[in-house]
Structure 1
């Protein structure tokens, strides 16, 4: 019971400290003109780890600790970046297909004559 309470207290502490630190790093990155994607991912992993520590149970605590360890966060970030790059390459491959019909922008319009008609039967 004491381990569950200690794990929950650690989870709350990690979520508060990590959230503040992530917000400060993201603000500094934005002031430098750099997109804080890596900082945001690290903060998200810390928040998930803290949330998992809040849940009672051995498995959630182990997963929460894995999210808190720096080398597992870097490994997860690298894997997710590789997956995102592969997904972008797949989308780009379908987007740049050579046989894809492109709309022509050479000033040609279809031959359409607008008007009214009246039918006269003899």
Structure 2
């Protein structure tokens, strides 16, 4: 809910959500076969190197929010 409020107000989603996305994507890359995907997966799982991926995701989210292409669907 906090991420929804932040996106509706034009703010970038919080660090915890971006960390979760990086960990999820890193795990998926580790499950995929291949040497390159393993390197990318480890890169996204190690906290010291995850900062680079988080910065890229923050820029992507900021651009999507400004363009209006980032949409939350709320079911009640």
Structure 2, unmatched stretches of 5+, are: 7-12, 68-76
Find the structure with the greater CA-based Rg: 1
* RMSD of aligned Cα (Å): 2.5
Matches within 5 A, 1:15-94: 37-82=14-59, 84=62, 88=66
Provide the TM-score with structure 1 as the length reference: 0.37
What runs of 5+ residues in structure 1 fail to find an aligned partner?
1-29, 92-122
Q: How many pairs are equivalent?
A: 55
Q: Structure 2 vs 1, CA of residues 54 and 79 (structure 1 numbering), >3 Å: closer, same or farther?
A: closer
Distance 1:55 1:79 in 2: 22
Q: TM-score, normalised by structure 2?
A: 0.55
